[in-house]
Structure 1
Amino acid sequence: MQERASDARLKRWILLDANRWSIVGILTISFFAMLVAFIAASPAPVTILQTESSVNFVFSSLVTGVITAVTLILGINQLVIAQELGPLGKQRNRMQGAMDFRQNVEDVAGLTVSPTEPATFFRALVEASQKQADTVRNAMGDDTTGDVREEIEKYIDDITDNASDVSDQLKGTEFGTFQVLNAALDYDYSRKIHTGRRLQNEYRSSLSEEVLNEFDDLLDILRFLGPAREHFKTFYFQWELINLSHAILYTAVPALITAFTMILFFDPRFVSGTVLGMNTTLLVVCATVTIGTIPFIVLLAYILRIATVAKRTLAVGPFTLRESGESEDIHWEE
């Protein structure tokens, strides 16, 4: 995915790869540092902070914001839970749909029983596409030569190399971590479907019936990767939203306690002196404001990754919604 995307490595690390609590820590420290720098550079920061009305106003607003955030998270939880509730008929249809899909995957991938773990299930599909690509290569034999063989060999090498990398990434991963979905995003099945269909149609007259049939089997396997990835992406979003709810609730309690303490007990007149040349009152207020904003920072850190994944996977099938840097030709029937 890094090779296909134009994003800088640091941007991709922040949006996708980094542990969300690491991003929370970085954003919290950055917020505190910028807040101290901004107030220290203002004309009269200490004078403003020495008025109780200013402190009360700030933390009263934080209390309202934190309570609103908790209410929002409860609403999100209700949406996630609502998807799992339903009458017996609906649950039976969900079960039947899942079993039918697994049976279809077993048929096209040559599996006796498909794995139950999402990472292993997706790895089985990826490795099946790799094996079928090698089968297409072997089916060509010595009869297919020239540009036809060169293009198909290049296509097969792309599938096998990509599948090998993704399979290695999926080994040992557990669902609930981003590594599973991250590896799934690295397998560009939609471009492979498009390229495979183009090669199959363009060189149909130059390929034997056996090669064309093996090509059909390869495309069938690739077509299952889209629904499988979207299914696991749905599970991941639900999992991540539940983790977000926990994180917001865990951080909301200390944020509220800090805000109420500052409103009820803080008196700027009793805070004096300096720390590292900075006014103590300024540092105390900035630190407590930062603690009060941690629930919003947690929300930002989680939503950044969820929104990024959603944007990169909007289309199911051979559609490219990002800038590829290449112009695509239109292939007309002759």
Structure 2
Amino acid sequence: MTTRRTFLKGAAAAAPAAALAAPAIAQSTIRWRMQTYAGPALAAHVIDPAIEMFNQIAGDRMQIELFYADQLVPTGELFQAMQRGTIDAVQSDDDSMASPTEVTVFGGYFPFGSRYSLDVPVLFHRYGLDEIWKEEYAKVGVQHISAGAWDPCHFATKDPIRSLADLQGKRIFTFPTAGRFLSQFGVVPVTLPWEDIEVAVQTGELDGIAWSGITEDYTVGWADVTNYFLTNNISGAWIGHFFANQERWDELPEDLKTLFKVVADQSHYYRQHWYWGGEADLRVNGDKLQLTTIPDAEWDTVEEAARIFWDEIAAESETKAKVVEIFKQYNADMQKAGRPYRYGDDA
């Protein structure tokens, strides 16, 4: 593929002399292309405000052009495109963009790795995950900028789910690791472009979605094509990140690096209250999805399976074992801390 740098060199060589005589400030503006995992409706909340803020503050010094899910490259190729420099920055989880790192399996929804959205920043900033992620991405030429929490992972389906037996044979759009875990309960994981999901549910290609919480279901239109929402979830918060090509990142002056980090943090903060409030409001006041629940005693078997899954992941490498141990220690600490951090064995 033609890289951005090669394209710009060719364009400059072919440009008329008059065009090259633009004001110096315009010529010196740093321009990045960034792609998010999210489609336009979701991006309006999870990324648009942050990039608009960055561009407004940076002004003529730097501008970021934002692209939505699959616009420049398929989501599964985001990492490779960023590593090559075809795309300068990415907002995604590790899992969806097929990151070739030891921590990829923990991105997105690692089964029962978190209970609440605040677990994610605490895990990264107080329990050491941030250092591990930065080390892993430095090995592959990518700058890990920051991690944040998104929504919990629930099923939105056409038919009601009231027991584990109801999951048998259901074709579900979900994340790679979540799909790997859920397949033991009869779920058939399906991977499709994000923008095709709504139509795939309408045509029967999909039976449902395990990609988000109820806020996204309403925001992106999935609540219009599904009928039921399962209140049990396999994770309390999606783990997503901001990344940049290492060379492009290293070229930025320190104040622009700081500005990018600040707007990323602002984006994380916005999602904390947007999702948290939305999940509650739409369960209570939403009029499109009927709530269903798998009884606690039955759902406990899913949590038990997650503990086995964790140990299977830990056995794959030393780094994965280190991350799993952090998850175990954190959850044990939260359980001992009690309310409001955890609410007993059935939290």
Shorter-chain TM-score: which interval? under 0.3
Normalized per residue, which structure has more strand?
2
Structure of higher CA gyration radius: 1
How high is the TM-score relative to the length of structure 1?
0.25
Q: TM-score w.r.t. structure 2 length?
A: 0.25
If each structure's helix is expressed as a fraction of its own residues, which one has the higher value?
1
